[in-house]
Structure 1
C-alpha cells in the first residue's frame, strides 16, 4: 500500500489530501482546506499579489509538516485558474519548490476538468467509490430522487425557503440531523443493486465551479466524452461585478450575462443538454446544498451525494442575493472565506441549472483533489524516489482522454 499526498491550489482555496492507496481505492488519512485567495486581483492585474503568495506559502508550510508527519512518500501539487492567468507564476513555483521539494504543475483547463471528473466518478457510477469512508445508506429508491421533506411532510416543499417568517433572521432555518425525511439523511441519490453502492443516470454533466473558472465535463463510467474550462468563477465574478452589499439587481444581471457568454463558449465543445444527471463539485455547490437542506452546520457526509432541486437552487440564490455580508456570515454552514463570493457562485450554479434544464443537481464532496491523489497513486513511481511530483493521469474511468475545443481552454 502506498501513501500519497495531493495538493490542489485554486483561486480561492488550497487543499490537502493524504491517503493510502491499496491498488483499487484511496483510504483517506487527512483532508484539509484553507482559504488563501491566491487569485485575489488576478482578473484585474494579471499577477499574483505578494500578500496572496504569502498566505499560500504559510498554508503550504503547515501542509509540508503534516505530510512529513504522516509519512507520505509521493507528493503532487496542482495549480489551476489563478496561476494559469498570472504573469508571475514563477514566483509561486519557486516558493513551492523551496517548501515542498517538488514543483507545482500549472495544468490546463482540460487537465483540470479530467482530474475533477476522475475524482468524482467513483462515487457516482458503478460502485461504492474509490475513496474509503463511511457507508451512506438511507437514500431514496430511484436515482436522482430526493427524500427531503418540508414542514408539511410532503417531499420537496421546503416552505422555509419561501416564507420570511419561517426563515428567521438569516433567511435559512437550520434543521437538526435526522429531520430531513424519514431516513435521517438529506436527499440522496438512489441506490443501485445491493451493498450500498450508489449510482446516477448517465451520461453525467459534471460542473466544477471554482474561484477563477468553471470546468464542465460530460462523461460516464467509460470516461470523458467532452470537456471545457471557462473563465467564470465565484472570485473572478465577485471582483468584477459586486460593488454593493447586498448586490444590486444590475450587478447580479451582469454576472448572469457573463455566465451565459461562457456557457455559449462551452456549448461549442460540451453538449450541455444531453446529460441525464447534473453533478456539482467544490464549495459553491456544497454550500448551496447545505443551505437548501437547512443543515445546522456544515456536514460533508450529509452533503455528499445529496440532491438539490432546481427550485431550491433558485430559492437559495435569491435569498443570498438579498442578504448583507454579515447576514451571510451568520449562516451556520458558511465558511468565512466564502462569505463574499457565495452569491456570485450561486448565480453561476443557478444559470447552469437553467441552461441545462436539469431538474436537480447532485452535490459531490469528491473532486479534483481526489483525482490528483488517484493519478499520483496509479502512476509509476519516479526513479528519484520519495516526494516526487507526477504528471500522470489516472486510467479509465478516472480520467480518460478529453476532447477539447479549438484553441487553448479558457479557465
Structure 2
C-alpha cells in the first residue's frame, strides 16, 4: 500500500518538536529527523495562567523555522499538538491565531488523556524492533511521559485479556520539570524545605494517578521525554548526549534515583558542566529529576507491595508523543 507523508509538531511546556515521516502499512519511516527547540512556552504559566510575551516570541521563532522546513518538504497533512501549558493559558487564542497564520493549521489543544494515549502509541510502536515474539519485554507496558507541565502515566494490555499495544488506563498529572521548578525549587541549589514541599506535591498527584492506573501490574516500565533521556544519559556516564546510546537503554532504579538526587542538589553552574544536559534544561532539570525519582520509587514500591514482584529497572525511549502524533495521523489518512 502506498504511504502518506505527514508531519507532526509537539508543542510542550518546555520544548517544541517537528518530525516528518512517511506512514504505510509497514509502519513509520522518518523523512526529516525530529528537530527540537527549547522555547519555554510555559514560562510562569503555572503562576499567571497566561503566556509570557517573551515566551511567545521564542516559540514563534521556532515555528517560523519549522515553516521553512515544511516548505522544503511538502506533506499530505500536518498536525500541530499543544499540551499542558496551552491547556492552562487564558490567552491561548492569541497563540492559536499566530500558529494558523504561520502554518495554515490551528493547534489541537489535546486533553491529558489523549496526550497519554499518543505517548503510549509512540513509545510502544518500536518495542518489537529487534525482538522476536518470545524476546519481547514483559507486558503490560507502563509508559511515563514526563513533560514540562504534566506527566502522563499510561498502562496497556497484558497480551492475554487485551493486546499489549492497547491502552487500558491512563492519567495525566499536573506535575513536570518546569511546573515543579517554578512552584517549589526556586533556590540555587534548592533547599531541603523546598524539596520536601515538592515531594509532597508530587506524591499527592501520584496517589491520584494510582486511583486511575493500576501501575502495580507493570511488567515493563518505559520512560520518555527530555528529563528521562537526560537522566539516563547521565546514569550511563555519557560525555555528551548520544541519542542512539540512550534509546532502548535499560537503567536500574537505584542508579537512576541516585542520579536524580545528584542532579537535583546541584547548582545551576554545576549542571552546566554536564554536556548531556541541554542548556535550555539547566534551570528546570532538577524539578524533572525529582518527579522521575518519585515515580520510580512509588511504582517499584507498588509492584512489590501489591504483587510481591520486584520491578527494578526501566527502558529509556526516544519515541513518545511526537512519534504517536505522526503515526496516528498517518494511519487515519490511510483509513
2:308 maps to 1:365: no
Partner of 1:79: 82
C-alpha separation between the residues in 1 aligned to 2:176 and 2:93? 23
Partner of 2:139: 202
Aligned-residue offset at 1:199? 2.5
Structure 2: state its 5+ residue gaps. 158-163, 301-310
What is the TM-score normalised by the length of structure 1?
0.75
8 A contact 2:154–2:167 mirrored in 1? yes
Partner of 1:144: none
Partner of 1:322: 265
Deviations 1:214-233 (A, max 9, x none): 00001142400100001001
Aligned-residue offset at 1:122? 1.4
Aligned-residue offset at 1:193? 5.5
2:38 maps to 1:35: yes
Deviations 1:255-305 (A, max 9, x none): 111110001111111012111111110001100100000012111111111
C-alpha separation between the residues in 2 aligned to 1:222 and 1:51? 40
Runs of 4+ residues over 2 Å off in structure 1: 191-194
Aligned-residue offset at 1:321? 2.4
1:215 to 142, 145, 152: 152
C-alpha separation between the residues in 1 aligned to 2:167 and 2:42? 28
Q: How does 1:155-234 map to 2 (within 5 A)?
A: 191-192=131-132, 199-220=136-157, 221-234=164-177
8 A contact 2:143–2:222 mirrored in 1? yes
1:63 to 62, 66, 70: 66
1:104 to 98, 107, 112: 107
8 A contact 1:272–1:355 mirrored in 2? no
8 A contact 1:7–1:17 mirrored in 2? yes
C-alpha separation between the residues in 2 aligned to 1:118 and 1:193? 18
1:375 to 325, 328, 331: 328
8 A contact 2:112–2:171 mirrored in 1? yes
Aligned-residue offset at 1:69? 0.4
Partner of 2:24: 22
8 A contact 2:150–2:173 mirrored in 1? yes
2:28 maps to 1:91: no
1:297 to 240, 258, 261: 240
C-alpha separation between the residues in 2 aligned to 1:379 and 1:295? 39
2:299 to 356, 368, 371: 356
Aligned-residue offset at 1:23? 2.5
C-alpha separation between the residues in 2 aligned to 1:122 and 1:243? 38
C-alpha separation between the residues in 1 aligned to 2:213 and 2:17? 28
Partner of 1:409: none
Greater displacement, 246-255 / 370-379:
246-255
Q: How does 1:381-400 map to 2 (within 5 A)?
A: none
The structure that is helix-richer by fraction is: 2
Aligned-residue offset at 1:27? 1.1
Partner of 2:7: 5
C-alpha separation between the residues in 2 aligned to 1:229 and 1:55? 26
Aligned-residue offset at 1:318? 1.8
Structure 1: state its 5+ residue gaps. 129-135, 137-190, 382-394, 396-411
C-alpha separation between the residues in 1 aligned to 2:214 and 2:10? 27
C-alpha separation between the residues in 2 aligned to 1:108 and 1:286? 24
C-alpha separation between the residues in 2 aligned to 1:373 and 1:243? 36
Partner of 1:257: 200
Root-mean-square deviation (Å) = 1.5
C-alpha separation between the residues in 2 aligned to 1:255 and 1:322? 13
What is the TM-score normalised by the length of structure 2?
0.91
C-alpha separation between the residues in 1 aligned to 2:95 and 2:136? 39
